[in-house]
Structure 1
Amino acid sequence: MPSLSYLVPFLGLIFSLYTILNVPVTKRLNVFGITGRPRTQITNIHGEGLEIVPDTYFAEDIHYHAPSDTLFGVSEPHPHSRNNWFPPIDHFSHPDLIGQGQIFTLNPTTNKKTRLNLRNFQNAPFVTHGIDIYSPPSEPETLYIFAVNHLPNPDHYGTTLAPDQAKKTPKARSQIDIFKHTLGTTDATYIRSVHHPLIRTPNDLYIENEHSFLVTNDHHHREGLGRMYEDIGWTELTPWSDIIHISNLDLTSTLNPATGFDASVALDKINNPNGLGHGKDAEEIMCARAAPGALELMHFASSSSSSASASQGPKNLTITSQIQLPNTIDNPSYFHDPYAATTGKDASGYVLGGLLKAAEFPDAEHNPTSVWLVDGTTRQQKLLFQDDGRALNTSSTGVIVAIDPKGNEGRKQAWLFVTGPFSDNLVRTKVDL
């Protein structure tokens, strides 16, 4: 999720640019939360029995693994970690205070959280962001966890640089860390890391298989005015970023994070690509463009995925359609309704968490949040959750886990899990579908 609080002083410039470019100004300002409802009119829609999950500071991304009925997520070690160091919102002040984030599991029924022991990763710095999970069909008890890790750049902080060199040398050198987990255990074994010059500002991941994944660069610019222009520019003005494909990933090549894989641009000329997710079928890939509030639906181009041999090499992405949301969004998930046939109602759809007042993020003390469920067929949008920012400060991810109507008095309901980049805790509530 980009930092947008600096937009307010630039409203005149934004309005002028959009007018010149013939861009719908009202929609842009509404998505940022600059216009529309004032804070005093944001009422809480919490479902039934809102609960917190302790020790889940800033758990920006969570995923549901249906075969094991388990949620997987990442979070930070203490409530001050992102104030010290978090490159996605230009926090670079204390690289020396980086701690080790955690990977955890969560039982959706009991709400019990378990922190995984990260083997071969003791005391390693781990600044969490987006993740994805994947079980190979041939190894259903195995789960790969790929996680973004925002590390300081040793070329910037590890040596004494002249002022002009320091300006040109990035402060962060983010990478993707890969873990292997056996379902039902409390361990995850670190396998290797991946970093490459094409991976500049990684936000989220999409695993095709254990040897191939996508990563979004949410911005082309790492900091400064160029980054600000990307947040306000939309596709019409600043289509500067991209989505990177890592292919031919060698999981036995563990010593050098810069080798043992191929890197290519899967999609360029896209503005502010943030969260990635697996869509309504095996082919559909979801990409949330945060500041525009737009969910792009895409798939691998047919020319690059038509054969088994091609699946091992570089691939391109093709956008097929777009869903516009009324506010900014971040990490998408897709809810597959397992009780559609027995209840006669299919509630399957796209689940999207976001901010109602993104222009004030992250400086506001309380950032109002929302979660939308977009029908997978009709695209009708339903507001499932809304908070004034006090129970849940920021929202980036919403995940739905269905409740069996047989044990729920016949009611068609689900557990909704919501979390965000500055939420003190992940929350769970029961919602009607």
Structure 2
Amino acid sequence: MKSSFNLAILVLVAANLYGPVCHWLTVVGVFRAATDIVTTEAQKIHKIEDTMQCEDMHHYQPTGQIFAACEDSLLPRFKWFPPLGNLQGPAQSTGSFHVIDTKTLESRRLTFENFHGPFVTHGLDLVDDPDRQGAIYIYAINHLSNPHYFEKPSAEGVPKAHSQLELFHHVLGSSTVRHVRSISHPLIVTPNDIYAESLHSIYVTNDHFYREGFMRTVEDILPLAKWTNVIHVNVNHIQSNSADTGIDAVVASQGYLNINGLGHGQSQEELLLSSAAGGIMYRARADRSNRTLSVLDEFAFESTIDNPTYYHDPYATPDNDASGYVVGGLLRAVDLRRTHNDPHAQEGVMVWHLRRHFGDTANPEWEKRLLFEDDGSAIRSASTALLLPLEPKDPAAKTAMLFVTGFVSRNIIAVEVPL
């Protein structure tokens, strides 16, 4: 009887694990090959110069420009980048903000004022200056090293990283960006991305529960490790010389597997989240009364995904509306543990487009399509992808310009894709 009971328990556990494990194996690309990948319909791929390792980018619609946070040299990220477990510090590099002309595909680097680094870039978001027309604030992640560790490397329990947020101010059209303040809080541990609801209200994802060590490895390989969270931060003081002054933070939502990117959805109320290792994009809504997030629904993809974006189709018709969500990720994330600190490796990419289905009502409500795929030759890694409309020459054959960037890519790329 006891053996039968134990067998029943084993079968029950296996049944519950089968679905999540199979999905995770698909997402990380265990059964995918990274060879002979053909990019979408052999379109010309444009590589934008001076856009190195720009993990995140945002299209600022009023000016039609793309803002990105990039690194200024290739090698430092392979030694120091806490999100990948690269912790050979201390951090010494200083990245920069870039403004990209989406017509000429040229990048312009902004010069810092009141800031000297280090600046190890990751996620960012933009918010209009409420007091000055033609100006914006930029929130950005900065993965600093912890001086308390590197001054005393034998200090037990002291983490190597001390990641925080930075707030900058930029007058549109100018060549400079001014540092306003730093933001630090005990709940901001492994920050990945930022969603700026307003100048004073932001959301931040923690992509890992453990910063380093054996349990960090367990967290990376265990598909049931839903330990990460989203933090809501009230920035009560815009000007401060102290990183923790005027900062109030709470846990807004938790229980995610490797929560990563945040994005703006199809309305001001819609907030997008992505579970990178889970390959799941969530649509959520904020409850301002109690500073929480409520997940409305979710969509599963067949690869890892990162920073989600929303594409609004200005040429939509009742029968053909390409408006939808765009996410990029890795072709074989399973290789990342081997390649994360190798400057010469390649990580292939997959970019997905999720839109409502038009036509036969018997089909699913949502249509998911692989928009772009590469073996790492054109671009190494994909963390953000966004679409910008192109005027259609043929209403029946709409296209858009796809921009893709990655956390270890050499350039942002742009390629025309069919919709």
CA contact 2:207–2:258 (8 Å) conserved in 1: yes
CA 1:376–1:173: 2 relative to 1, 3 Å: farther
> For the residues of structure 1 that align with 2:398 and 2:124, how far apart are their CA atoms?
30
SS at match of 2:145: coil
SS at match of 1:27: helix
> For the residues of structure 2 that align with 1:22 and 1:124, how far apart are their CA atoms?
45
2:62 paired residue number: 67
1:390 paired residue number: 377
SS at match of 1:170: coil
CA contact 2:40–2:417 (8 Å) conserved in 1: no
> For the residues of structure 1 that align with 2:293 and 2:124, how far apart are their CA atoms?
20
Matches within 5 A, 1:205-224: 205-224=194-213
Structure 1 residue 414, shift from structure 2 partner:
1.3
> For the residues of structure 2 that align with 1:141 and 1:33, how far apart are their CA atoms?
44
- Matched residue type, 2:99: T
Matched, 1:120 2:120: no
Matched, 1:291 2:285: no
- Matched residue type, 1:153: N
Higher strand residue share: 2
> For the residues of structure 2 that align with 1:47 and 1:382, how far apart are their CA atoms?
17
Structure 1 residue 374, shift from structure 2 partner:
0.4
CA contact 1:46–1:386 (8 Å) conserved in 2: no
TM-superposition CA deviations, 1:231-266 (whole Å, max 9, x none)? 2333xx3222211111143112x2100111211111
1:316 to 292, 313, 320: 292
Matches within 5 A, 1:249-264: 249-252=236-239, 254-264=240-250
Matched, 1:274 2:263: no
- Matched residue type, 1:321: D
Structure 1 residue 40, shift from structure 2 partner:
3.1
1:169 paired residue number: 158
1:404 paired residue number: 391
Matched, 1:147 2:109: no
SS at match of 2:322: coil
Structure 2 unmatched ranges of 5 or more: 1-10, 340-344, 358-364
- Matched residue type, 1:132: D
> For the residues of structure 2 that align with 1:231 and 1:347, how far apart are their CA atoms?
35
Structure 1 residue 325, shift from structure 2 partner:
0.3
- Matched residue type, 2:323: S
Structure 1 residue 88, shift from structure 2 partner:
0.9
1:350 paired residue number: 325
Structure 1 residue 205, shift from structure 2 partner:
0.5
> For the residues of structure 2 that align with 1:424 and 1:18, how far apart are their CA atoms?
44
> For the residues of structure 1 that align with 2:241 and 2:183, how far apart are their CA atoms?
10
CA contact 1:232–1:291 (8 Å) conserved in 2: no
Matched, 1:27 2:23: yes
Matched, 1:179 2:168: yes
- Matched residue type, 2:157: K
- Matched residue type, 1:106: I
Return the structure number with greater relative CO, CA threshold 8 A, min gap 6.
1
> For the residues of structure 1 that align with 2:142 and 2:129, how far apart are their CA atoms?
23
CA 1:177–1:46: 2 relative to 1, 3 Å: farther
TM-superposition CA deviations, 1:277-302 (whole Å, max 9, x none)? 0111111111110001000111113x
- Matched residue type, 1:72: F
Matched, 1:328 2:304: yes
Structure 1 residue 27, shift from structure 2 partner:
2.0
1:43 to 35, 38, 45: 38
> For the residues of structure 2 that align with 1:375 and 1:28, how far apart are their CA atoms?
23
CA contact 2:49–2:106 (8 Å) conserved in 1: no
Higher helix residue share: 1
2:409 paired residue number: 423
> For the residues of structure 2 that align with 1:339 and 1:137, how far apart are their CA atoms?
31
2:123 to 124, 127, 130: 130
> For the residues of structure 2 that align with 1:33 and 1:260, how far apart are their CA atoms?
44
TM-superposition CA deviations, 1:85-135 (whole Å, max 9, x none)? 111111111315x211010100111101100111111x3210001111112
Q: Which runs of 4+ in 1 moved over 6 A?
A: none
Structure 1 residue 409, shift from structure 2 partner:
6.3
> For the residues of structure 2 that align with 1:46 and 1:420, how far apart are their CA atoms?
21
- Matched residue type, 2:325: Y
SS at match of 1:223: coil
* Percent of aligned pairs with the same amino acid: 37
SS at match of 1:229: helix
> For the residues of structure 1 that align with 2:12 and 2:276, how far apart are their CA atoms?
20
Structure 1 residue 404, shift from structure 2 partner:
2.4
CA 1:325–1:281: 2 relative to 1, 3 Å: same
Count of paired positions: 395
1:109 paired residue number: 103
CA contact 2:36–2:375 (8 Å) conserved in 1: no
